[in-house]
């Protein structure tokens, strides 16, 4: 993909809401042969045995079963963010299917994503997604969940596009449990609220420890201090809803003092 921000939402809809041949084509086009897939209930790993038998093939079967179980999936891509920190660079690709082949790049097999990762930090894309998952033999089953899809990307200078080396579907505990038939996620939510109350009480009871940490900086090796500035609505003449002068923040090495 040339523009991850705009193409990732289209890719996600292609993988979840299109006929099987388009779904398969998208996986072959955008995923590396040894790409991996991770989900709370599924994991492919990264491998390539040759002759098309690789983890990308396993990913295509995972998505195929996903669509067999739930032919109609409601998916909304809320937002996409891409971290353009550093680049993994792939130079040699197949001219027939425009997907990476088992060639050498600086002595590294392009199918070996772990070795490629040593040449630089992969760019990472994050997609916030809301979906409704149904299982067609179970008419009363429905899972309304929210997740973040994390995509590790590598860049090919020759084709000037990104390929996916790893997909990780990130669910919190409650959204993971929503996939189960028994609604055990409800007591989990109650338990989380209960633990929040325990934390509040613990913070109140443990105020002497807080004073000790503040006075002696116990367990602190670095941090930042607000040196000056005014908070919300403190500037003269401001009205509600307007922000005052921004605070000046300076990073401080607490081990070496405040200079």
Domain containing 23 — which CATH number? 3.10.450.50
> For residue 238, how many C-alpha atoms fall within 13 Å in the half-sphere facing its CB?
13
pLDDT of residue 110: 44
Residue 186 domain-assigned (yes or no): no
Q: What is the predicted pLDDT for the residue at 233?
A: 45
Q: What is the pLDDT of residue 139?
A: 77
Q: Is residue 15 part of a domain?
A: yes
Q: What is the pLDDT of residue 243?
A: 39
Is 99 a domain residue?
Answer: yes
Q: How many domains does the chain divide into?
A: 2
- Give the residue carrying structure tokens 């079967």: 61
The series of mean pLDDT values per 10 residues for the chain, 259 residues long, is: 92 93 95 94 92 94 91 92 62 36 41 45 85 84 91 87 94 83 76 86 85 73 49 44 39 43
Residue 132 and residue 52 in one domain: yes
Structural domain for 250, as ranges: 217-259
| pLDDT value, residue 226 | 43
- What's the pLDDT at 122? 56
Q: Residue 22 corresponds to which tokens in the numbers above?
A: 């388009």
pLDDT at 70: 87
Full-model pTM: 0.66
Per-residue confidence (pLDDT) for residue 43, from 0 to 100: 94
User: Is residue 91 included in any domain, yes or no?
Assistant: yes
Residue 151 domain-assigned (yes or no): yes
Whether 222 and 145 map to the same domain: the answer is no
User: Quick one: 39 and 112 in the same domain?
Assistant: yes
The pLDDT assigned to 258 comes to 47
Whether residue 176 lies inside any domain: the answer is: no
């Amino acid at each position: 993909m040339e523009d991850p921000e705009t193409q990732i939402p289209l890719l996600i809809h292609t993988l979840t809401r299109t006929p099987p041949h388009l779904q398969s084509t998208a996986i072959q086009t955008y995923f590396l042969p040894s790409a991996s897939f991770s989900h709370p209930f599924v994991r492919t790993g990264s491998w390539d045995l040759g002759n098309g038998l690789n983890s990308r093939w396993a990913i295509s079967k995972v998505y195929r079963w996903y669509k067999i179980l739930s032919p109609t999936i409601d998916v909304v891509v809320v937002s996409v963010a891409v971290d353009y920190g550093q680049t993994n660079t792939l130079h040699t690709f197949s001219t027939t299917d425009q997907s990476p082949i088992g060639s050498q790049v600086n002595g590294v097999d392009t199918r070996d994503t772990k070795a490629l990762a040593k040449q630089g930090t992969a760019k990472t894309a994050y997609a916030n997604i809301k979906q409704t998952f149904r299982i067609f033999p179970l008419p009363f089953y429905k899972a309304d969940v929210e997740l973040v899809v994390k995509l590790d990307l590598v860049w090919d200078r020759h084709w000037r596009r990104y390929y996916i080396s790893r997909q990780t579907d990130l669910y919190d505990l409650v959204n993971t449990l929503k996939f189960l038939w028994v609604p055990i996620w409800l007591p989990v939510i109650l338990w989380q609220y209960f633990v929040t109350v325990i934390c509040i009480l613990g913070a109140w009871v443990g105020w002497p420890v807080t004073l000790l940490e503040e006075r002696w900086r116990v367990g602190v090796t670095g941090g930042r201090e607000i040196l000056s500035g005014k908070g919300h609505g403190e500037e003269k003449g401001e009205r509600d809803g307007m922000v005052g002068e921004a605070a000046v923040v300076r990073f401080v090495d607490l081990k070496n003092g405040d200079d």
